[in-house]
Amino acid sequence: MPPDAATPAVADHGEMSRTAGGWWPADAEELQDLQRRLGLLRPPPWHPGTSPHDLAAAAVVHDPDEGGRAWAGAVLVRGRRMLAAQAVAGAVHGPYLPTLRSARDGPLLVTALEALGRRPDVVLLAAAGRDHPRHAGLALHLGAVLGLPSIGLTDRPLSATGPVPGPVRGDTAALVLDGVEVARRVRTATGVRPVVAHAAWRTTGEVAAALLLAGTRGARTPWPLREARRLAREARGRG
């Protein structure tokens, strides 16, 4: 990605300053503090324009039998077109800890996204955004560090609560945390279990839901994310 990827745009949107652990502190206390500060930022909202936007999706898979190795796949798409695809291998440090996933997967996801060579308009990750105890899940964290609008997708909410949407593709229902909408349950296909579209860096639940539906025709989850995950698994298979 561009040179400024190393100088996160977070700094432009508040009193953010990097901690001793950088943007991906390994120390839990330090990461929690960073999450609290990220969660308070209110960067200008981004909306996909009428012109076609480039979306990047990235996913990471881990070594089945521990080992600390991991692989990440990333794709850059515009509409139904695939513009770029990359897979990278790397080492992962700590174990997975609920609410602290960014410490483990953030750096490798950034590496994969930067390998695409071009900056997208928005980033999609299988992760939570503002639906997080400290309002800064991995999707928001990564978007802030990269200075790119981001959205997240998960099977279920992390901390937010709300009703189930109607049964038809396109039906949505707000998920609220601390009185504000942080995500939306979205029926991406008629008759299937809804997914959760997460507002993250510079995005709303509405935008997250719209982008998710746009990348989802027939399947329950958006094809760019499935493709990114496939690339990561493929790379793992090669060693």
Query: Chain centroid to CA 26: how far?
Result: 19
CA 79, 57, 198, 17 torsion: positive or negative? Answer: negative
Alpha carbon distance 119, 2 (integer Å): 7
Q: Which of 64, 66, 175 is nearest to 128 (CA)?
A: 175
In this chain, which of 86, 102, 150, 216 binds DNA, going by CB under 7 A? Answer: 102
**Is the distance from CB of 153 to CB of 196 less than 8 angstroms?**
yes
Candidate ranges 8-16, 123-131, 168-176, 201-209; the one touching DNA (CB under 7 A): 123-131
**Given the rule CB under 7 A, which of 13-21, 98-106, 163-171, 210-218 is the region that contacts DNA?**
98-106
Q: Does 231 bind DNA (CB under 7 A)?
A: no
What type of residue sits at position 58?
A
Interface with DNA (CB under 7 A), residue from 34, 61, 112, 235: 61
Of 109 and 122, nearer to DNA (C-beta) is 109
Q: Are 160 and 148 in contact (CB under 8 A)?
A: no
Q: Hey, which residues between 151 and 170 contact DNA (CB under 7 A)?
A: 152, 154-156, 158-159
Beta strands in 53-145 (DSSP E): 54-62, 69-78, 81-91, 122-125
Angstrom distance (rounded) from CA 221 to CA 228 = 12
Q: Of 53 and 186, which has the nearer Cβ to DNA?
A: 186
Report if residue 203 touches DNA, rule: CB under 7 A.
Answer: no
Q: Does 3 bind DNA (CB under 7 A)?
A: no
Q: Which stretches of the chain bind DNA, using CB under 7 A?
A: 59-62, 64, 96, 98-102, 126-128, 132-133, 137-139, 152, 154-156, 158-159, 191, 229, 233, 236
